[in-house]
Structure formats: C-alpha cells, structure tokens
C-alpha cells in the first residue's frame, strides 16, 4: 500500500475476529527489525503469544477493558534491553539514558503496526498492563524493561478515527 494511505488507514482497533498466522507474524517482526536504532544496537525484544496457554497468561496481566479490546488477537509483548542503547561501557552517553532504548522500541513498534496494516491486519498498542506479571509469565529477563502489549489481528469492529492536533500546535518552523 502507498505509504501516506497506510498511515491514515492505520487506527487502533478494539475488536478482533482472529489473530495473525505465524508466517505473516514473522514477516511483520522482520519489518519491525528494519527500524533504525542507537548504534544499531537493536535492543527491542518481542515475546509473541500465539498458543491458547500463552495468550491466557498475557491476557491475565491486562486490565479488563484491554482484555476485551484484544480478544481473539495475537499478543506481542515488547521490551527493550536496558543499559545498551544510549550507553558506552555501561555509562550513559547523555542525559536521556535508557530513554534511548524506549525511543528505539517506539520506532520498532511503529514499523510493526504499519507492517501489519500493510498486510491487512490491525493493531492496538496497550501500555496499561502489569509488567511484573508479564515478566513472570514469559520469563522476561530482569535487564529488559517491559513496555507494552501489542494486539494484532483481523478487525471485527471498525475503529473510531481520532483527531490530530493542528500542525501549528506541535511544530515550529524556523
């Protein structure tokens, strides 16, 4: 799909009929891997819940409204390795510190949700989740920061388009 159209038709979807087949999921994750990262450190990590058991564990770590929104979807828990992006030999390169790992993961997540849309699948990024429960359930190492759960699947419910601020409110040109 043409890029501009892709960015406009990608919306947060809160109702799914099915998840994403395994092979397509692999392609989507490979596209997410193409995102730029600090010194190409590639600290984003993906924990993909496909089996009913894994899905149940991830769902249990989310509040009821996110469980409802993501029913039937494939769930991807995204994390990043701390102390790598934005660091040299364990010392932060500047004041942002681990913010760079989060920045890089955001880029990967953007690629991921657009790659899904490009293949006819929708998404919902969910930041409201219990990180400790997810860490335990999926054996996520302590050096990784658990960020979000991303639901991926075929839309069942049409999304409500959300407005964007005027460009003048968010950008200044010099």
Interface residue list for ligand FMN (CB under 6 A): 11-12, 14, 66, 69, 124-128, 148, 159, 162
DSSP bridge partners of 88:
91
Tell the smallest beta-carbon distance from residue 70 to ligand FMN (Å).
Answer: 9
Instruction: Please give the Cα distance from 44 to 127 (Å, whole number).
Output: 16
Tell the smallest beta-carbon distance from residue 96 to ligand FMN (Å).
Answer: 17
Instruction: Please give the Cα distance from 111 to 118 (Å, whole number).
Output: 10
Please give the full DSSP string across 85-102, using - where no structure is assigned.
Answer: TTEETTEESSTTTTHHHH
Tell the smallest beta-carbon distance from residue 3 to ligand FMN (Å).
Answer: 16
Choice between 58 and 148, CB closer to ligand FMN: 148
Q: Which residue is nearest to ligand FMN (CB)?
A: 127
Choice between 12 and 72, CB closer to ligand FMN: 12
For residue 8, which of 102, 105, 117, 106 has the smallest C-alpha distance?
A: 117
Tell the smallest beta-carbon distance from residue 22 to ligand FMN (Å).
Answer: 25
């Amino acid at each position: 799909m043409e890029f501009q159209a892709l960015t406009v038709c990608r919306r947060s979807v809160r109702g799914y009929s099915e998840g994403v087949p395994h092979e397509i999921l692999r392609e989507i994750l490979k596209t997410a891997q193409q995102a730029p990262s600090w010194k190409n450190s590639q600290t984003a990590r993906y924990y993909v819940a496909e089996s009913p058991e894994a899905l149940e564990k991830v769902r249990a770590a989310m509040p009821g409204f996110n469980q409802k929104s993501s029913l039937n979807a494939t769930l991807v828990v995204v994390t990043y390795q701390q102390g790598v992006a934005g660091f040299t030999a364990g010392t932060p390169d500047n004041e942002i510190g681990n913010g760079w790992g989060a920045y890089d993961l955001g880029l990967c997540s953007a690629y991921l949700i657009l790659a899904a849309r490009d293949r006819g699948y929708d998404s919902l990024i969910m930041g409201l989740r219990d990180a400790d429960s997810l860490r335990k359930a999926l054996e996520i190492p302590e050096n990784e920061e658990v960020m979000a759960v991303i639901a991926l699947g075929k839309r069942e419910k049409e999304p409500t388009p959300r407005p964007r601020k005027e460009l003048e409110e968010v950008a200044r040109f010099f």
